[in-house]
A = this chain, B = another copy of it.
């Protein structure tokens, strides 16, 4: 199936596309200079939402699955980027230890692992898989849909190094987001490169921290292009700890929802956007779509509170940190289904992407949910590169170049974020 831009979107996003295209050399140089100062995450996937009036990242994944959703045509780019990454980190390496997610064993996820093995194998590394589960003491064989197999081996930890039987890697690549905390097995590995670093795990990361960095990046970038950062930056507020058991537990959320809706309304007025603003309330740590709520009116929180308390009666939840973020609708469609672009990067390079498509969700809802499908990003056409002459909004490669730029801004924000949260960094505060 070949994806198409079924809607030629109108409005500010086309101006943004035109400005980004005409500024291409300046943008690429700006990224070059930023990467001289900041180290990109090893690999990154960024979910974007294109609302026609604004384009913004909504999630930045530092342990991306889904490499299987990239087309075969994009693989050479991924291999080349992987070569560049390895060359910088550990050029003499022979071996890469890939550590899969502890819980994912779906055929799709196994294909993602297969794809990662393929990419790093062709970039020049022997790749083997180690199980982040001390209960696994024998080699497991994982069957893939194409009839091939992956071997998942027990990890062997020594005082200073992690490896497998007869396999001592220079680099350990994590594909588990460490949501449940940092396993002891992975701590204190100072002789090997552990990528991404442990503090990129969701037990440490906070969305609000990421979006604060993104705001900083978006402002710099907007200054370079002479534009309003709001066009690419989703505004947000946060509440440190929300305790649904306490009578006024949701007050902070209510206040933030109110304030944020008012801010968005002012922006809509400024740009003549005739839409009803909404905000999204979600857990500040990485608990996926859990607790994800679209709010158009602060009174909707009353309902939520009532229902939540009922549920809590059964099973008390610990206080949760909450982020309240400006909602960005996605107005891209593939065959009438709501779609959002996801951009994949290895090292500093965009290597591909896909549309996450969900037939049963609305333009203002989270599409990262059961039932979503994946369509490789508009690369089926003969040219994958931006065409400076084309009409804004009408050229898929131009649209994708813009997505690649915004994806890289989010990746740069993650680089800022990881510097700020690095426990081993010297503090000059």
Chain A residues close to B by CB (< 8 Å): 24-29, 31-33, 35-36, 71-73, 75-77, 79-81, 83-84, 86-87, 91-94, 118, 121-126, 349, 382-386
Closest Cβ of chain B to A170, distance in Å, is: 11
A87 is contacted by which of B35, B79, B86 (Cβ under 8 Å)?
B35
Assembled-state Cα–Cα distance A384/B118 (Å) = 13
Q: Is the CB of A384 within 8 A of B72?
A: yes
Q: Is the CB of A122 within 8 A of B92?
A: no
For the residues of A in contact with B, the DSSP-based class is helix
Q: Is the CB of A91 within 8 A of B25?
A: no
Q: Is the CB of A121 within 8 A of B25?
A: yes
Closest Cβ of chain B to A89, distance in Å, is: 11
A25-B125, A33-B91, A72-B383 known; 20 new pairs, CB 8 Å cut-off, are A24-B121, A25-B124, A26-B94, A26-B124, A28-B123, A29-B93, A32-B83, A32-B86, A32-B91, A32-B92, A33-B92, A72-B382, A72-B384, A72-B385, A73-B384, A75-B385, A76-B384, A77-B77, A80-B81, A122-B386
Q: Is the CB of B81 within 8 A of A124?
A: no
Q: Is the CB of B124 within 8 A of A31?
A: yes
Q: Is the CB of B29 within 8 A of A124?
A: yes
Q: Which of A72, A76, A79 has the most CB of B within 10 A?
A: A76
A-B contacts, 18 listed (Cβ < 8 Å): A24-B121, A24-B124, A25-B124, A26-B94, A28-B122, A29-B93, A29-B124, A29-B125, A32-B86, A35-B87, A72-B383, A73-B73, A76-B77, A76-B384, A76-B385, A77-B77, A122-B385, A122-B386
Q: Is the CB of A32 within 8 A of B72?
A: no
A94 is contacted by which of B24, B29, B35, B73 (Cβ under 8 Å)?
B29
Q: Which of A28, A77, A83, A384 has the most CB of B within 10 A?
A: A28
Contacts of A71 in B (CB 8 A): 382
Nearest residue, chain B, Cβ from A94: B29
Assembled-state Cα–Cα distance A32/B84 (Å) = 10
Closest Cβ of chain B to A365, distance in Å, is: 32
Assembled-state Cα–Cα distance A135/B115 (Å) = 56
Assembled-state Cα–Cα distance A201/B76 (Å) = 31
Contacts of A29 in B (CB 8 A): 92-94, 124-125
Assembled-state Cα–Cα distance A86/B29 (Å) = 10
Contacts of A75 in B (CB 8 A): 383-385
Nearest residue, chain B, Cβ from A347: B84
Q: Is the CB of A27 within 8 A of B73?
A: no
Q: Is the CB of B77 within 8 A of A24?
A: no
Given contacts A29-B94, A29-B124, A124-B28, contact A79 B385 (CB under 8 A): yes
Assembled-state Cα–Cα distance A292/B249 (Å) = 87
Assembled-state Cα–Cα distance A81/B24 (Å) = 17
Contacts of A32 in B (CB 8 A): 83, 86-87, 91-92, 124
Top 8 A-B pairs, shortest CB-CB distance: A28-B124, A72-B383, A29-B124, A75-B385, A32-B91, A76-B384, A72-B382, A25-B126
Closest Cβ of chain B to A149, distance in Å, is: 13
Contacts of A86 in B (CB 8 A): 32
Given contacts A25-B94, A93-B29, contact A73 B124 (CB under 8 A): no
Assembled-state Cα–Cα distance A28/B91 (Å) = 10
Contacts of A91 in B (CB 8 A): 32-33, 36
Closest Cβ of chain B to A160, distance in Å, is: 23
Contacts of A33 in B (CB 8 A): 91-92
Assembled-state Cα–Cα distance A382/B126 (Å) = 25
